[in-house]
Chains A and B, each alone.
Chain A
């Protein structure tokens, strides 16, 4: 396959051919190519279709500002929509397809939109599609949605890995062009810790695209020699393919390194991309500048591009979009393209310079001074331009490529990421950094409006010296080669007046007319303009479009550009893969998984596990023959209540509280009294938030005068600990109390059931008497088990049975479960999971997460009397507010079906028997429901208005989302052993 448009020179490796496919056709390029340069070299100018009108488009740029040449890169699960051909590095086997067209790229059926464009003016959709009303979702919107969008995802999971990393440096240099390289040399030689990041795969910026010399060397040779010197410095990290995407608070930057995007697929175990968080003492923005176009009729024809891009393709990539080239410029820089192309033997048909008197004159090519390009022909590829001469006559110039230069915009983006608003520079006719820059940031080179190479070099070096001086590091500017130092000579021109459509935002198809229409309709502020016309909202974020739109609006309002507004930029600098921002926290690794001490044993038993917060807990333990979860759970419950069951309760929060003021501290943390709890005793505690709502509950054991062990619910362990530290440090700073979370230090098991004591007696060392007399209900103590292993024993019960909780250091948790199961064999002991735990606590009427939902008071929970009025505790004062103490306040009660064969569900609402089921008649709701294998029917807990007084009443539990309704009777919440005899056995 011939590379028909490849010329001599360039920074490509011609010794190797790379094969790639575009729209199914195979081409060849070389290492160093981008997809765009390789396609151009193969004579392909048409690369995509625009968003709205489906206009045929080719690249207008050679960089990340590209609006047009977007492709779907790769295929299958790795398909990447909207990838810029201008930055996609060519690799062998690359496969790309153009996007957003129906039918072949050269014959897009949706291009009919272009013919209908008068109907699709800016904001047309706000004014129509309203009738008939129902047609929006059914007809108009689906139609619009199908036509809209750009590239597509395959809906397959992204197979690649993404990593995150953290870097620290004295000086972050953003951009590796002449300014950035000079800065890095200066800072690197001074010994500073430097990061130099550039989005390109070759550092050097425009030095690689220009024919200037730096001293005796070509620009690209100087750049590569400088990079080599920097790379050899241990204190300098040179990061190519790395885009600094945003400037965040306090000198923190996000940067995306594309580790593997230039490969067919990532090497085994390597990430596709890395998101770096860079902590920089100082930063120097050397991001260069972006050339801007001039709008004229049909200025979007494939083959029309920025003059500098044309130069880049010719000089760096030895590729040209056409054999005959014309230039349209309003400044001297456009002439550079003509000069460079001529030097390469390319025919320059003419340079159309809008400046009548200031246009440079030369006899090397024809200069049409004071002329304007007023039109272009060649729908699928430029064939010629129409030029309006100063006298008014027009002339047609045949060409396949047109380079357009409207001047350069400094890349101020990162200076705006916080509060900086760029300011207008009259001489450059462009915005330069202004306002308050992100802390520690300064700007050098073209990004600061210093557009010459010599200026970039010296300002980069000076910028580094100054930034390092702030940090107390002395540096002297690197000695720099001589370089061009041409002044900027420009006569602002943003669009050529005319009747046809002239494109400002090429991707979103926003034309000069659209901006005028926006003005006509009063959408004159930049924000309105943007939102009404979609100017600058495309994937290129308006890098080449915004300023033109602003200029047209300024013209319409009769104000200057800076008076009309500025455009500020938000992160990211260029779009970032969502996968990269997520890093490894995806799939199963979304959050850490906490395993209980008995996990391994439970897994061996074939337990079914369930996510409880970050924990994975055994939900039930199926036995052979059990085909439904209820069979397992019922068995576990019945066996526990009949004999004994064991459950891993390690996930409950444990907080160790010590100090001479520990008792008083707890007395204030809990709503009920704790000061007088005896050593060796445990007490249930209810903890309120300051607003009087129940925060958490649990038990706290007093192991010694100055030593308590608190348990919290699994869900609230972290929050309760934080709250207690707040109380300790901020409210009562002089209390002698120390706390630490010991949740993961102790493995804790509940042993419950009539044979609990007998089982434990086989485990606990004989020196410890755990008889009912010696170790009564709510007793606790430090003991040893299994021949001397220290342990803690608490006689507490969540199930309502005679029960203990036994704790050993976590590393013995696995051994203990195995030992207890062995010891329990003679009692037919079971190990039960969270489901059986839940059933038994509902049977016993204990509140849990469903009841402690953040809107329940002690009164709601039936524990109003527990809130001591005789002491100060968190939440006690505000719990007395009238709204929380209404007569019809919700109260926690039990429910059972009137017909025991019927069932009902948690989340059902309670409606009076004869009442209509509506919100006005809502009496409360069911919080927790289960089947009680002991009672043989479904039972529930729930909140009912004035519940305590309504026992015996029959209500409807309505569940309209499941079309269910059941008659239920209000009963005590204590379904099993209401007198508590078993606990005390």
Chain B
């Protein structure tokens, strides 16, 4: 596969390490009332769609950015690639 890196242009996916669903960005608040349940769901449950999937790739043999790649799990077509940091900020994460 070829991942169009937002900073570096097209790169072979072999340069990257895959983590999984981009929802792993949404780490729960440890002080929330139901923190245990929320952490369980965060870590262990997956939407696992057959179709569009937002997922985390790490450019390990490159610039070490984490990317959020939107890719179809049936066709493998990639429709969007963003820096995970931007996505995280957009989802309200900060410090």
Direct contact of A and B (CB under 8 A): yes
Question: CB-nearest residue of chain B relative to A872?
Answer: B30
Question: CB-nearest residue of chain A relative to B31?
Answer: A872
B84 touches A729 (CB 8 A): yes
Interface residue ranges of A877-906 to B (CB < 8 Å): 877-878, 880-881
Chain B CB within 10 Å — which of A250, A732, A881 has the most? Answer: A250
B89 contact set on A, CB distance < 8 A: 733-734
Contact with A along B80-94 (1 / 0, CB 8 A): 000111011100011
B58 touches A249 (CB 8 A): no
A135 contacts chain B at the CB level, 8 A cutoff: no
B88 touches A731 (CB 8 A): yes
Interface of B is mostly: mixed
A733 touches B58 (CB 8 A): no
A327 → B minimal CB distance (Å) = 46
Interface residue ranges of A337-388 to B (CB < 8 Å): none
A252 contact set on B, CB distance < 8 A: 1-2, 12
Complex Cα spacing A419 to B93, Å: 39
B58 touches A735 (CB 8 A): no
Contact with B along A719-740 (1 / 0, CB 8 A): 0001001100111111100000
B27 contacts chain A at the CB level, 8 A cutoff: yes
Complex Cα spacing A718 to B64, Å: 12
Complex Cα spacing A845 to B28, Å: 36
Interface residue ranges of B24-56 to A (CB < 8 Å): 24-25, 27-28, 30-31, 35-36, 39-40, 43, 56
Interface residue ranges of B1-36 to A (CB < 8 Å): 1-2, 12, 17, 19, 24-25, 27-28, 30-31, 35-36
Question: CB-nearest residue of chain B relative to A419?
Answer: B75
B95 touches A726 (CB 8 A): no
B39 touches A730 (CB 8 A): no
Interface residue ranges of A651-705 to B (CB < 8 Å): 661, 664, 690-691
B24 contact set on A, CB distance < 8 A: 726, 730
B76 touches A725 (CB 8 A): no
A250 touches B78 (CB 8 A): yes
Complex Cα spacing A881 to B40, Å: 10
Contact with B along A387-400 (1 / 0, CB 8 A): 00000000000000
Given contacts A250-B2, A252-B2, A878-B43, contact A726 B30 (CB under 8 A): no
A420 → B minimal CB distance (Å) = 12
Complex Cα spacing A250 to B69, Å: 14
B39 contact set on A, CB distance < 8 A: 690, 877-878
Give the interface size class of chain A.
20 to 34
B25 touches A730 (CB 8 A): yes
A876 contact set on B, CB distance < 8 A: 30
Partner of B88 from the list A439, A691, A733, A877 (CB cut-off 8 Å) is A733
Given contacts A249-B76, A726-B66, A881-B36, contact A732 B43 (CB under 8 A): no
B12 contact set on A, CB distance < 8 A: 252
Given contacts A731-B88, A731-B93, contact A249 B1 (CB under 8 A): yes
Question: CB-nearest residue of chain A relative to B40?
Answer: A878
A317 contacts chain B at the CB level, 8 A cutoff: no
Complex Cα spacing A569 to B35, Å: 50
A572 contacts chain B at the CB level, 8 A cutoff: no
A880 contact set on B, CB distance < 8 A: 36
Complex Cα spacing A876 to B84, Å: 24
A191 contacts chain B at the CB level, 8 A cutoff: no
B20 → A minimal CB distance (Å) = 11
Question: CB-nearest residue of chain B relative to A731?
Answer: B27
Contact with B along A246-266 (1 / 0, CB 8 A): 001111100000000000000
Question: CB-nearest residue of chain B relative to A251?
Answer: B2
Given contacts A249-B1, A249-B76, contact A877 B30 (CB under 8 A): yes
A279 contacts chain B at the CB level, 8 A cutoff: yes
A250 touches B43 (CB 8 A): no
Complex Cα spacing A419 to B77, Å: 12
Give the interface size class of chain B.
35 or more
B64 touches A725 (CB 8 A): yes
Question: CB-nearest residue of chain A relative to B86?
Answer: A733
B40 touches A730 (CB 8 A): no
A285 → B minimal CB distance (Å) = 19
Complex Cα spacing A249 to B93, Å: 33
A733 touches B19 (CB 8 A): no
A729 touches B65 (CB 8 A): yes
B52 → A minimal CB distance (Å) = 16
Given contacts A691-B43, A880-B36, contact A729 B2 (CB under 8 A): no
B65 contact set on A, CB distance < 8 A: 729
Complex Cα spacing A661 to B95, Å: 9
Partner of A722 from the list B17, B75, B94 (CB cut-off 8 Å) is B17
Complex Cα spacing A756 to B1, Å: 53
A730 touches B88 (CB 8 A): yes
A170 → B minimal CB distance (Å) = 14
A729 contact set on B, CB distance < 8 A: 65-66, 83-85, 88
Interface residue ranges of A429-468 to B (CB < 8 Å): 436, 439
A279 contact set on B, CB distance < 8 A: 2
Complex Cα spacing A730 to B90, Å: 11
B43 touches A690 (CB 8 A): yes
A733 touches B17 (CB 8 A): no
A153 → B minimal CB distance (Å) = 30
A691 contact set on B, CB distance < 8 A: 43
Complex Cα spacing A707 to B61, Å: 25
B19 contact set on A, CB distance < 8 A: 726
Complex Cα spacing A398 to B85, Å: 79
A877 touches B35 (CB 8 A): yes
Question: CB-nearest residue of chain A relative to B43?
Answer: A690
A661 contact set on B, CB distance < 8 A: 95
A722 touches B58 (CB 8 A): yes
Complex Cα spacing A735 to B94, Å: 7
Question: CB-nearest residue of chain A relative to B94?
Answer: A734
B76 touches A250 (CB 8 A): yes
A878 touches B36 (CB 8 A): yes
A843 → B minimal CB distance (Å) = 37
B49 → A minimal CB distance (Å) = 18
Interface residue ranges of A216-273 to B (CB < 8 Å): 248-252
A825 → B minimal CB distance (Å) = 44
B17 contact set on A, CB distance < 8 A: 722
Partner of B56 from the list A418, A664, A690, A730 (CB cut-off 8 Å) is A730
Question: CB-nearest residue of chain B relative to A727?
Answer: B27
A722 contact set on B, CB distance < 8 A: 17, 58, 60
B71 → A minimal CB distance (Å) = 10
Question: CB-nearest residue of chain A relative to B30?
Answer: A872
Complex Cα spacing A730 to B30, Å: 16
B93 contact set on A, CB distance < 8 A: 730-734
Complex Cα spacing A563 to B71, Å: 33
Contact with B along A272-293 (1 / 0, CB 8 A): 0000000100000000000000
Complex Cα spacing A735 to B95, Å: 5
A664 contact set on B, CB distance < 8 A: 95
Chain B CB within 10 Å — which of A251, A722, A730, A881 has the most? Answer: A730
Complex Cα spacing A252 to B76, Å: 13
Partner of B85 from the list A439, A733, A872, A881 (CB cut-off 8 Å) is A733
A690 contact set on B, CB distance < 8 A: 27, 39, 43
Complex Cα spacing A249 to B75, Å: 9
Can you sample 7 A-B contacts with CB below 8 Å? A419-B75, A726-B56, A729-B83, A730-B87, A730-B88, A731-B93, A733-B89
Given contacts A690-B39, A729-B65, A734-B95, 14 further A-B contacts (CB under 8 A): A248-B1, A436-B75, A439-B77, A729-B85, A730-B84, A730-B85, A730-B93, A731-B88, A732-B93, A732-B95, A734-B89, A876-B30, A878-B43, A880-B36
Considering the complex of A and B, which 3 residue pairs feature the smallest CB-CB distances, nearest first? A872-B30, A250-B2, A734-B94
